[in-house]
A and B are shown apart, each in its own frame.
Chain A
């Protein structure tokens, strides 16, 4: 029996439960309009560690612990940890896994890693290969900046299309039983490249991939934008989401007020983040705090979460390669009240 519908969507027979979500963010994100939803806000972006890399790792570990606690589980109850981040060789995730002493699957999907790991985790749980899975990702402005761009203190201007890497980590626990929101479908996206090679315009590079995944998901499940209370993309930013809306309209789907982009709602205009937030931590923190609590309060009943990633490296960019994009989608239904 193959649990697939349409071309590339997976439908779960026994929908895994998203039992808890935990989000930890840096000080700048702590001033965002969503600040009240976050579980923990750092007072300084080094988290009292010597380097920013250590700070990111500590956030990652805290996110896992926090989510496990919220789900009333012990760390020994976690069968598999699935996660990734933006740093070379995903060191934040694998070094955190060293502390946790559990099976670890490291993923790299750039900023799409959050829904990618939720999707992989849900498959493991639905298949009966794990009882509880922790899915976590993180990013840190200062570690990403030094790896992909310039030193922090360099006095240069950011182009208007630039996005601001979110300092933060989020963790979701996916479980086979317990109280939680149901993950009904997942759709692993294709890598799509439309020839954008501007490292400072990732929204435009990722938008076609997001549009492709969402179109596939709609076709496979025979649904449309109006069937969902919320369709959330990861970090397309302001420009990227505008392009994304237009592309979807070309496909014949009109996205209305139920569409939002996590990167765009992350920062206020006055926070100088230009097009909005980006990074693994962006969708991870927004989905695990804001969207999770809206699902819990029944404000949203059925949502699509879709993190988007730009699969570039500094080497590929300097060698003039274009930027391939990817997006993975997850459909979540709010937990129903037992009558």
Chain B
């Protein structure tokens, strides 16, 4: 009991001294880097439409995503994306490029442990939870949509 009290006291003591993340600059950086990535995506999409006027909207979207994913993986491979991430935080994590980085980076890292148990197994250590949550949520939403449709 005494130890618990000491822990609580010490916890507060430490908390008062914690250096704080600077809220506003981080927010600003995340906003404009994230925005910039989205603008690049829009640019690619518009460019595709000009170059290949016959493509449907769906295909253009898919190509845009593929190109963005490729760019992000490439930047991860040459060691640039982690620097962008350290600077921009959520700005470069939230767009699909962040997702690509979260798969490419463990793949690179764990390649030394072999193709199957290293690369293939560890590839989704970070992206895995995102995929699981995405699928689980879409199942729930789908179920609600289905039930609402029955009424």
Q: Output the least CB separation between A104 and chain B (Å).
A: 25
* Bitwise interface map of A from 143 to 162 toward B, beta carbon under 8 Å scored 1, else 0: 00010001111111111110
Is the beta-carbon distance between A243 and B7 smaller than 8 angstroms?
Answer: no
Is the beta-carbon distance between A153 and B108 smaller than 8 angstroms?
Answer: yes
| Bound: A153/B104 CA distance, A | 8
* Bitwise interface map of B from 98 to 113 toward A, beta carbon under 8 Å scored 1, else 0: 1001101110111010
Q: Output the least CB separation between A182 and chain B (Å).
A: 36
Beta-carbon nearest neighbor of A272 in chain B: B86
In the complex, what residues of B have CB within 8 A of residue A159's CB?
Answer: 21
CB within 8 Å for A154 and B85 given contacts A146-B109, A194-B6, A208-B10: yes
Q: Per a CB cutoff under 8 Å, which of A157, A195, A204, A246 touches B86?
A: A157
CB within 8 Å for A154 and B19 given contacts A50-B112, A195-B11, A201-B14: no
Give the segment of B49-57, B62-70, B74-82, B129-137 that binds chain A. Answer: B74-82
Is the beta-carbon distance between B14 and A243 smaller than 8 angstroms?
Answer: yes
Main DSSP-derived SS at the A contact region: loop
Is the beta-carbon distance between A158 and B76 smaller than 8 angstroms?
Answer: no
Beta-carbon nearest neighbor of A207 in chain B: B14
* Bitwise interface map of A from 40 to 75 toward B, beta carbon under 8 Å scored 1, else 0: 000000000011010000000000000000000000
Interface assignment of A196: CB less than 8 Å from any CB of chain B: yes
Residues in A143-192 with C-beta less than 8 Å from chain B? 146, 150-161
Interface assignment of A105: CB less than 8 Å from any CB of chain B: no
Interface assignment of B13: CB less than 8 Å from any CB of chain A: yes
Beta-carbon nearest neighbor of A160 in chain B: B19
Is the beta-carbon distance between A51 and B108 smaller than 8 angstroms?
Answer: no
Is the beta-carbon distance between A153 and B76 smaller than 8 angstroms?
Answer: yes
Q: Which of A146, A195, A196, A242 has the most CB of B within 10 A?
A: A195
Interface assignment of A239: CB less than 8 Å from any CB of chain B: yes
Q: Output the least CB separation between B120 and chain A (Å).
A: 15
Interface assignment of B18: CB less than 8 Å from any CB of chain A: yes
In the complex, what residues of A have CB within 8 A of residue B89's CB?
Answer: 156-157
Is the beta-carbon distance between A153 and B17 smaller than 8 angstroms?
Answer: no
Is the beta-carbon distance between A152 and B105 smaller than 8 angstroms?
Answer: yes
Q: Per a CB cutoff under 8 Å, which of B18, B19, B82, B92 touches A152?
A: B82
Q: Output the least CB separation between B126 and chain A (Å).
A: 7
In the complex, what residues of A have CB within 8 A of residue B21's CB?
Answer: 159-160
Sorting the interface of chain B by its residue count into under 10, 10 to 19, 20 to 34 or 35 or more gives 35 or more
| Bound: A195/B8 CA distance, A | 8
In the complex, what residues of A have CB within 8 A of residue B13's CB?
Answer: 243, 246
| Bound: A53/B109 CA distance, A | 12
Is the beta-carbon distance between B17 and A242 smaller than 8 angstroms?
Answer: yes
CB within 8 Å for A156 and B86 given contacts A161-B18, A239-B17, A239-B18: yes
Q: Per a CB cutoff under 8 Å, which of A154, A194, A196, A243 touches B105?
A: A154
Q: Per a CB cutoff under 8 Å, which of B6, B77, B126 touches A154?
A: B126
Is the beta-carbon distance between B20 and A155 smaller than 8 angstroms?
Answer: no
Residues in A228-267 with C-beta less than 8 Å from chain B? 239, 242-243, 246
Beta-carbon nearest neighbor of B72 in chain A: A155
Is the beta-carbon distance between B79 and A153 smaller than 8 angstroms?
Answer: yes
Interface assignment of B44: CB less than 8 Å from any CB of chain A: no
Interface assignment of B38: CB less than 8 Å from any CB of chain A: no
Is the beta-carbon distance between B19 and A161 smaller than 8 angstroms?
Answer: yes
| Bound: A151/B122 CA distance, A | 10
Is the beta-carbon distance between A155 and B14 smaller than 8 angstroms?
Answer: no
Residues in B18-40 with C-beta less than 8 Å from chain A? 18-21, 26
Is the beta-carbon distance between B18 and A153 smaller than 8 angstroms?
Answer: no
Interface assignment of B48: CB less than 8 Å from any CB of chain A: no
Is the beta-carbon distance between A153 and B101 smaller than 8 angstroms?
Answer: yes
Is the beta-carbon distance between B14 and A196 smaller than 8 angstroms?
Answer: yes
| Bound: A283/B20 CA distance, A | 27
Q: Per a CB cutoff under 8 Å, which of A152, A204, A242, A243 touches B109?
A: A152
Task: Spell out B's residues near A (CB within 8 Å).
Answer: 4, 6-8, 10-11, 13-14, 17-21, 26, 76-77, 79, 81-86, 88-89, 92-93, 98, 101-102, 104-106, 108-110, 112, 126
Give 5 nearest A-B pairs by CB, closest first.
A155-B85, A195-B7, A151-B109, A153-B105, A151-B105
> With contacts A153-B109, A154-B106, A156-B86 known, what are 11 further pairs, Cβ within 8 A?
A150-B126, A153-B77, A153-B82, A153-B101, A154-B105, A156-B82, A157-B26, A157-B86, A158-B86, A243-B17, A322-B7
Could you pull out 21 A-B pairs where Cβ atoms are within 8 angstroms? A146-B109, A154-B106, A155-B82, A155-B83, A155-B88, A155-B92, A156-B82, A157-B85, A157-B86, A157-B89, A161-B18, A194-B6, A194-B7, A194-B11, A195-B8, A195-B11, A201-B14, A239-B18, A239-B19, A243-B14, A243-B17
